[in-house]
Each structure stands twice: as C-alpha cells, then as structure tokens.
C-alpha cells in the first residue's frame, strides 16, 4: 500500500537554528503533499499545501517565511523551520494523496521537534 | 469553511464491549469522511472512510455510518480489544479539494 515516510523522526535543536524535515512518498508519486502541526493532546492543524513545481499554499495565520516549504520532486517535500524558537516545538506530520481513490490520504509517522 | 465537531473527547469501555464516536460537519458540500487512528508518537493511520453516496460501510469490527441530512457520521467498533486503545480522529473534505478538516479527537481506552 501507499507509504509516506518522514525524516528525522525526532530532532532537538537550539533556539535560532533552522531545522529541515523531509516527507517522502515511497511507492507512489504525489504532486501535492500536506503539512500539519499537532500540539500535545490536540488535533491536527493544517499548515500548508505543498505543490510540486510551484509555491506552497499556506493556511491563514501560518508564517510562510518561518515555515519554508519546498516540493523538490514528485516524491519529496521538505519543511524548514527557520530560526526556531521553543514555541515551535511540536509534532509535525505530512500527508499525501494516495492516488488510489479521490481524497484518500496517507500520513507520515511524524517528526517530534524540540527547540531548547 | 468546514467545521467538524467530535464527541466524546474521551471514552472508556470494557474489553469486548462496543465503542461509538460521533462527528458532525457544517458544510453540506463535504462528501468524503475518513477516520484515523493515532497511537502515541505516531502519525494517523486511516482505518475506514465513507463517501456521501453511501450510508454505511463495514470492515470486520469497524463500521462507519453517515447521515447526510443531519450532517453527522459515526464510527462503531465492536468486540473491542486492548489494542484498540488510541486516539481516533474523524475528518471531512470536499470532493477534489483534498484538504481535510479534522475533529478534535477521541481518546479511547479499552479496559481489560
């Protein structure tokens, strides 16, 4: 079945540094991928839609200069958290449409970011 | 835009009993309703979904029902087992829009 991977699974960094998170569709191509943020015991909040070959579409209230998204190929999207601060600490999850049926999406395993 | 409400926020049932989680949505144009199971520290896993042209769908111990008129859909888990313990999320989306709007989540605990 469709598999989405993320790397790294967890990362700890110092304030002010930038962190890159990769999302890959392993056995299918995805022209669109989605990035979510999840705080502890909360639901998933859509941050942006990553589009292969064009700019990402950000949800209202999400800083595009803070969360840089690049959809480099049909199987890879990256999210870079720039100049990270402790409030950016969260669980970041990506998803991709499976292509098997309309709207069906598969999620990656998530990346736990901790900013000290 | 779409708004999805999910209840209850926590649910505890005895092993072997049934569990029901309910969601309501606001946009009558939504036509795809998936349910996800999320275990601690992991990404959501699709467990079942239903489209608006169907009223009920079943997969072994899991079933989903949809009432388009009332704009609500429910997840039913029968013969619950300890491994069913997790957080469950409902979601809704428009055909072709792909963007999912999630409910708040339900923490399900199965007591042995």
pLDDT digits (tens, 9 = 90+) for B53-97: 889 999 999 999 999 999 999 999 999 999 999 999 999 998 667
Residue B8 has pLDDT above 80, yes or no: yes
From first CA to last CA, the distance across chain B in angstroms is: 41
Chain A closest-CA separation from residue B81 CA (Å) = 22
Q: Confirm or reject contact between B102 and chain A (CB < 8 A).
A: yes
From the candidates A44, A45, A95, A108, which should be mutated to test the interface with B, based on the most B CB atoms within 10 A?
Answer: A44
Helix, coil or strand: residue A63? coil
| CB B36, CB B91: distance < 8 Å | yes
Helices (H) and strands (E) in chain A, counts: 0, 11
How does pLDDT run across B12-21, given as a tens digit for each residue? 999 999 999 9
Nearest to B98 among A97, A108, A110 (CB): A97
Burial grade of B94 (CB within 10 A; 0-12, 13-18, 19 or more):
middle
| CB A99, CB A28: distance < 8 Å | yes
Contact B100 A34 (CB under 8 A): yes
In chain B, positions 58-77, which contact chain A (CB-CB < 8 Å)? Answer: none
Nearest CA in chain B to A91: B41
Count CB atoms within 10 A of the CB of residue A60: 5
Q: Phi and psi at residue A39, in whole multiples of 5°?
A: -85, 160
Supply B24's token pair: 């309501």
| The pLDDT value given to residue B74 | 98
| The pLDDT value given to residue B94 | 81
Split at pLDDT 50, 70, 90, the class of A50 is very high
Supply B48's token pair: 């079942």
How does pLDDT run across A60-103, given as a tens digit for each residue? 999 999 999 999 899 999 999 999 999 999 999 999 998 877 78
Strands (E), chain B: 4-7, 10-14, 19-25, 30-38, 45-51, 56-59, 62-67, 72-77, 86-94, 101-102, 106-111
Cα distance between residue A56 and residue A33, in whole Å: 9
Cα distance between residue A81 and residue A68, in whole Å: 7
| The pLDDT value given to residue B86 | 98
Average pLDDT, chain A: 93
Q: Confirm or reject contact between B34 and chain A (CB < 8 A).
A: yes
- Across the range A107-115, mean pLDDT stands at 97
From the candidates B25, B98, B105, B106, which should be mutated to test the interface with A, based on the most A CB atoms within 10 A?
Answer: B98
Q: Confirm or reject contact between B103 and chain A (CB < 8 A).
A: yes
């Amino acid at each position: 079945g469709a598999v989405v991977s993320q790397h790294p699974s967890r990362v700890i960094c110092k304030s002010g540094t930038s962190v890159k998170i990769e999302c890959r569709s392993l056995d299918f191509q995805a022209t669109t991928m989605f990035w979510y943020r999840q705080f502890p015991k909360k639901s998933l909040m859509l941050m942006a839609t990553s589009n292969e070959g064009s700019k990402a579409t950000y949800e209202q209230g999400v800083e595009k200069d803070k969360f840089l998204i690049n959809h480099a190929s049909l199987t890879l999207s990256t999210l870079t958290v720039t100049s990270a601060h402790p409030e950016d600490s969260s669980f970041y999850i990506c998803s991709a449409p499976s292509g098997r049926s309309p709207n069906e999406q598969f999620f990656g395993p998530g990346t736990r970011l901790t900013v000290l | 835009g779409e708004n999805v409400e999910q209840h209850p926020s926590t649910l505890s049932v005895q092993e072997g009993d049934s569990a029901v989680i309910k969601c309501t949505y606001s946009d009558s144009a939504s036509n795809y309703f998936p349910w996800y199971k999320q275990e601690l520290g992991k990404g959501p896993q699709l467990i079942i979904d239903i489209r608006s042209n169907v009223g009920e769908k079943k997969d072994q111990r899991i079933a989903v029902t949809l009432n388009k008129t009332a704009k609500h859909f429910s997840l039913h888990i029968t013969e619950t087992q300890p491994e069913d313990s997790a957080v469950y999320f409902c979601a809704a989306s428009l055909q072709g829009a792909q963007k999912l709007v999630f409910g708040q989540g339900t923490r399900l605990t199965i007591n042995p």
